[in-house]
């Protein structure tokens, strides 16, 4: 069984489990354990508690300061500099965009690019 089908099966059995008396719950747990292959305690937890709703992941950390155009330009700068690390690349950031624009490698106007990237 796939995880989605197990989730669907447990959702259908949850209603039955909650209305059954304790003596019959044990038999239902045995049946569900045999069908899903889950541990008995895990099944009882899944049936006793309502399923959690999955929410969209929120972005963690600082918000982005620059748009996708700057990210693309930064990637071009990084590749032109030999894919070096940020600390070694930082001294080249003020002069490299002008040179790449003159060579035709960079299509963005240099005014749109920041002169210093954190």
pLDDT digits (tens, 9 = 90+) for 60-116: 888 878 778 888 888 888 999 999 998 998 888 888 888 888 888 887 755 565 665
Is 28's pLDDT higher than 90?
yes
Q: What is the mean pLDDT of residues 13-33?
A: 92
* Residue 62 three-state SS: coil
- Dihedral in degrees, nearest 10, Cα atoms 79, 80, 86, 91: -170
User: How high is the mean pLDDT of the chain?
Assistant: 85
Greatest CA separation for the chain: 81
List % helix, strand, coil for the chain (3-state, nearest 5): 60, 0, 40
Residue 95 half-sphere exposure, CB side, CA atoms within 13 Å? Answer: 4
Q: Please state, as a whole number, how many other Cβ atoms lie within 10 Å of the Cβ of residue 78.
A: 17
The predicted model scores a pTM of 0.46
Report the pLDDT value the prediction gives residue 27, as an integer from 0 to 100: 93
Report the pLDDT value the prediction gives residue 36, as an integer from 0 to 100: 93
């Amino acid at each position: 069984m796939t995880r989605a089908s197990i989730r669907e099966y447990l959702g259908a059995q949850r209603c039955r489990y909650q209305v059954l008396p304790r003596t019959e719950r044990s038999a239902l747990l045995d049946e569900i354990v045999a069908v899903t292959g889950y541990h008995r305690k895990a099944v009882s937890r899944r049936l006793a508690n309502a399923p959690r709703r999955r929410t969209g992941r929120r972005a963690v950390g600082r918000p982005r300061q620059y748009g996708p155009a700057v990210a693309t330009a930064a990637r071009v700068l990084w590749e032109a500099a030999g894919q070096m690390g940020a600390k070694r690349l930082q001294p080249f950031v003020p002069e490299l965009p002008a040179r790449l624009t003159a060579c035709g490698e960079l299509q963005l106007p240099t005014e749109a690019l920041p002169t210093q990237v954190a």
